[in-house]
Structure formats: structure tokens, C-alpha cells
Amino acid sequence: MKKAYLKWFFVAGMGLFLGACSEDSPSGTTPDPEPGTTSRYVVASAPIGSQGVADYLLTTSDLTQGTISTVGQGIEQDGSYRYYLTHKNKFFSLLYGQGNPGAVTTYTLDEKGALVKTSDFQAETVQVFTTAGDDILTIKVPRSGNESASWFRINADQSKIVSEGQVNIVQLAGNGERSHFTWATQVGDKVFAPYMSIKGAAPDVFGTAYPDSSWIAVFSYPGMTYEKTIKDNRTSFIGSYFNNGLAVDESGDVYGFSPASATRAGVASSTKPSAFLRIRKGTTEFDKSYFFNVQEKSGGYKIANQTYLGSGKILLYMYGTVNTATGNKRLAIADLYNQTFTWVTGAPESIPSSSASYNNNTVSDDKKSVYVGINSEAGSWIYTIDIATATAKQGLKVEGGAITAVVKVK
């Protein structure tokens, strides 16, 4: 979970006084708003030492320089964990209720570029959330007990649930274990939902007897009718818990990565490398002619998560300990077409925490740069990474908390 890898940051005498404002009284939300602004960046920052507050939402038009702070500013997001995405010119904040229902809060930008809350309703706590058509598609995935995952279509314009249904994840797995969806991605008129095969029973809930296989369940959209499962045995499962393993390029081809991180009884059991597979546009089979062995190209490091950048380029968050799915992350840029791999320079080589990849849609308008929030003991900054050269430059400083999300809202 998000806070699990941020807890280290809330120690060692960092006790800043956070006079931040509540959701209903967001004074100071947008420092120096600019008339005529058509898009803003929302930076979510997990406060230091505050109880019951997931993040404060700050907005800015420039991520490359300056300083913003949660002190006396920001829209408070209650709870322990929040996740964010933007769709149809709206910003959505989803509360992870840890088994209980959670709020879905919708914001838009006013004429000055400030966030304004437009709706707030309750929905099920989910582990998968993505945009699809006019909707936000969410999936609640039980790790044990209940054999059905529940999906919900939230219309982005209406900010309400317009359809829901269930998928029997034990029947879907068909191997005595259960399918645990890692994410979902719209591909044409379908939804591709990769999954892990897990035992779903103590003492080895997330363990599996099938560590070297990949699966993607294919559903129609918007009906969410199950059609088939795409399978492969050249690497392990696609994506990972709360990490989107799929990227769709401009031509409609789908690329999926495996972290090769399957375990059994808590011990790493994948024997295949961390790599990308491909599904050509209009097909529902893996392309047997394509296999991008990132672990080999990187010198033995495995992929943790990704953000697609465009034109075949992809930002990779790599595990920092060679040949394992452990260790502080390190950034790299890969070319999915040419199968090249380049470490990012100018950013820390060991990243204790960063803005989550599923909360990053922050490629620059000219497609030349991508922005990533990085937290360290020295502080939190937004880094601008030049895609062509894989070089990073420290930019906006965020004070008063650890960066958890950087999202552009039009």
C-alpha cells in the first residue's frame, strides 16, 4: 500500500506544524492562481505526523521550479490511503477503506485553476481503478474467502455508479487457485485485465504453484462479459499488486511487463526473467515473435512498475537489488520498439519512495519530458526527466510531506 513505503519519511524530528485547511474550506489551495489557466498539476503530499489525513492536494502550473508547501495550504483528503486519477476534465480522489466503503470525491478546475469539489459519494473499496470510455472502471478483488470479484462502472460525467457485476475468480483461474487482478486497461472495445494466480489461503495467501505463467482476462466493454484468457509461459504474471502491467501505444499495440516476482511460502519462485510481452492491435494472443528481456538488458534488475511516455518510450521503476524484486527503486527509460534500456541520470540512484506510477499521467505537453515526485531524507522534489536523453533535473520542492501523486488536470 502507498503509506507502507512512505512510513520511513515520517521520522527524525520532522515535526512541522500543518495548519492545513479542510475539504470544505480550502483556503490557500492554489498559490497565485493564474487567470485563463486551462490545465494545472495536482500534487498530493502525505503530511508529516497527522492522523486521519491521507494527503493534502496542492495545485501548481509549473513543476520545474519553486516551492510549494502543505503548511496553511491544500485540500485535506481524509482516511489513511487515497488514490487519484483524471478523466473527462475531472479529478477523482478515491478513498481506500481497507475493507469498508470509501468516498469517491470529484473535483473540477475553476476559472482560476483552483480545485473545486463537485460531488462526494460512497463506493466499495477497490484495488483496481482505470478509465474506460466515459467511465471509471473499478474492481474489488478479494484475496481470500469470497470467490467473486466485483466490478463497478462510475460515469465520469454523472459521478455515480451506472453498472456493476461480478466475476468468479476461482472459475477464471481454473487451476485450483484464484485470479487476483493486478489492473485493468481498455483496449479498443475490450478491457484487458491481467491477473496473478494466488492460493488465497493462509499461511501463503499470495503464494502460487504457477510462478512462470502469464494471464490476461479479456472482457467486452461496457458489458464486462468475459470472453477469454490470453496465456503465455515465457515469463511470470503481468503487473503486480496495485501496479499496472499494461501499456497501449499509439498504434493500439499492447505491451505487458512481468516483474517475475511470484513466491511460494514467502520465497521467490519465478524462474523466468522480468520482461515485456506484446499483443498486436486487434488480436487477443501474445505475439510469439516479441520478447523484450529487460532483466538481461539492465544487468539483472527487475521491473517494479511503469509509465508509458509515447512513441514506444516507457519510464521504468526498477527494483534496486539485482535479480530480486526488492530494494529501493531506480529509474530507467526503455524503448519498447528497439528493445533498448537506459538508466536515468541526474535523479537519485536509490529512491526510498516516489509518486506512484498509477498516479502519474504527467508527460509534458510536447511529449519531451516526464515528471516524477521523489522523496528522500533530504526532502521531496519533482524531477523533470528528459525522455530523449534519460537525464533528470531537480525542480519543484514540496515541503511538509512526502509526494504520493503528480496528476495533470485540464
What is the predicted pLDDT for the residue at 81?
87
Q: Is residue 305, in this structure, part of any structural domain at all?
A: no
What total number of domains does the chain contain? 2
**Residues 283 and 140 grouped into a single domain:** yes
Does residue 13 sit within a domain? yes
Amino acid 4: pLDDT: 35
In this structure, is residue 195 part of a structural domain?
yes
Is 332 a domain residue? no
- Pairing relation of β-strands 67-69 and 391-399? parallel
226 part of a folded domain: yes
Query: Rounded to an integer, what is the distance from CA 133 to the centroid of its chain?
Result: 19
Specify the DSSP element, H or E, that contains 246: strand 246-248
* CATH code, domain carrying 259: 2.130.10.10
Q: Is residue 321 part of a domain?
A: no
For residues 184 and 76, state if they share a domain. Answer: no
Answer yes or no: do 238 and 376 share one domain.
no
Tell whether 2 and 148 lie within a shared domain: no
Does residue 187 share a domain with residue 147?
Answer: yes
Q: Is 115 helix (H, G, I), strand (E, B) or coil?
A: strand
What totals of helices (H) and strands (E) does the chain contain, helices first?
A: 2, 31
Asked, for residue 343, whether it belongs to a domain, the answer is no
Q: What was the pLDDT predicted at 362? A: 87
If asked whether residues 285 and 403 sit together in one domain, one would say: no
| pLDDT on residue 127 | 87
Burial label for 381, CB within 10 Å (0-12, 13-18, 19+), is: buried
In a 10 Å sphere around its CB, with 0-12 CB exposed, 13-18 middle and 19+ buried, how is residue 291 labelled? middle
Check whether residue 41 and residue 105 sit in a common domain: yes
Residue 81 grid coordinates: 490511503
pTM: 0.89
Q: Pick from 268, 284, 300: which residue ends a domain? A: 300
- Both 95 and 222 in one domain: the answer is no
What amino acid occupies position 395?
G
User: Nearest Cα to 5, choosing from 407, 408, 404?
Assistant: 404
**Domain region containing 63:** 1-119+356-410
Distance from C-alpha of 408 to C-alpha of 173, rounded to nearest angstrom: 37
Ordered per-residue pLDDT tens for the chain, 410 residues = 344 333 333 322 333 222 333 333 333 344 444 444 467 899 999 987 777 789 999 999 999 999 999 988 899 998 888 999 999 999 999 988 776 788 899 999 998 889 999 999 888 888 899 999 999 999 999 999 999 999 999 999 999 999 999 999 999 999 999 999 999 999 999 999 999 999 999 999 999 999 999 999 999 999 999 999 999 999 999 998 888 999 999 999 999 999 999 999 999 999 999 999 999 999 999 999 999 999 999 999 999 999 999 999 999 999 999 999 999 999 999 999 999 999 999 999 999 999 887 666 789 888 999 999 999 989 999 999 999 999 999 999 999 999 999 999 98
Domain boundary among 252, 281, 300: 300
Distance from the Cα of residue 353 to its chain's centroid: 13
Domain stops at, among 262, 279, 300: 300
With a CB cutoff of 8 Å and minimum separation 6, the contacts of 408 are: 39, 40, 41, 42, 86, 361, 362
Both 104 and 130 in a single domain? no
Burial group, residue 335, by CB count within 10 angstroms (0-12, 13-18, 19+): middle
Q: Are residues 289 and 141 in the same domain?
A: yes
Furthest CA-CA distance within the chain:
59
Do residue 96 and residue 136 come from a single domain?
no
User: Helices marked H in 256-330 — which ranges?
Assistant: 294-297
153 with 225, same domain: the answer is yes
In a domain, 336, yes or no: no
